[in-house]
């Protein structure tokens, strides 16, 4: 799993030498209990897909997720699926000969 400003279509302004900028990156971490590590990288938009990598720091943060309540999902990541019934009963159109589907006959 991963994300970055390029994938999020966020264009950052150029900075001057010595200029300091502060950014915040946030996300919802819906995962099963385990150990997770975070990498941080900086790349330059150079016209190539993904840009030119300037620096990458691997495993800069170690996050331990523990189970405090019953697990609401199975697998590696909670996709947080939703499902909603939009009609009480499916509606079927007649075919070009005027016949209704078997369920509606």
How is the chain split into domains, by residue range? 1-74
Give strand pairing partners of 52: 44
Please give the average per-residue pLDDT across 51-77, as a whole number: 81
How much is the mean pLDDT over the chain? 78
Backbone φ, ψ for residue 102 (5° rounding):
-50, -40
User: Is the per-residue pLDDT at 105 higher than 60?
Assistant: no
pLDDT > 70 in the chain, percent: 74
Within 10 Å of residue 19's Cβ, how many Cβ atoms? 7
> What letter would DSSP give residue 101?
P
Q: What is the pTM of this model?
A: 0.53
Written as six digits, the tokens of 29 are: 């971490």
User: Is the per-residue pLDDT at 90 higher than 60?
Assistant: no
Kind plus residue range of the DSSP H or E element containing 57:
strand 52-65
Q: What is the pLDDT of residue 58?
A: 94
Q: Which residues contact 48 (CB under 8 A, 6 or more apart)?
A: none
Q: pLDDT per residue over 4-54, tens digit each?
A: 887 788 888 888 888 888 888 888 777 888 888 989 888 888 888 878 888
> What letter would DSSP give residue 77?
B
């Amino acid at each position: 799993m991963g994300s970055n400003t390029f994938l999020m279509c966020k264009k950052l302004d150029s900075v001057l030498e010595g200029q300091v900028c502060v950014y915040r990156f946030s996300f919802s971490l819906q995962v099963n209990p385990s150990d997770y590590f975070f990498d941080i990288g900086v790349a330059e938009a150079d016209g190539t897909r993904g840009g030119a990598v300037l620096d990458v720091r691997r495993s800069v943060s170690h996050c331990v997720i523990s189970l405090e309540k019953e697990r609401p999902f199975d697998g590696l990541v909670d996709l947080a699926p939703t499902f909603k019934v939009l009609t009480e009963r499916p509606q079927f159109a007649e075919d070009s000969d005027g016949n209704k589907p078997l369920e509606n006959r």
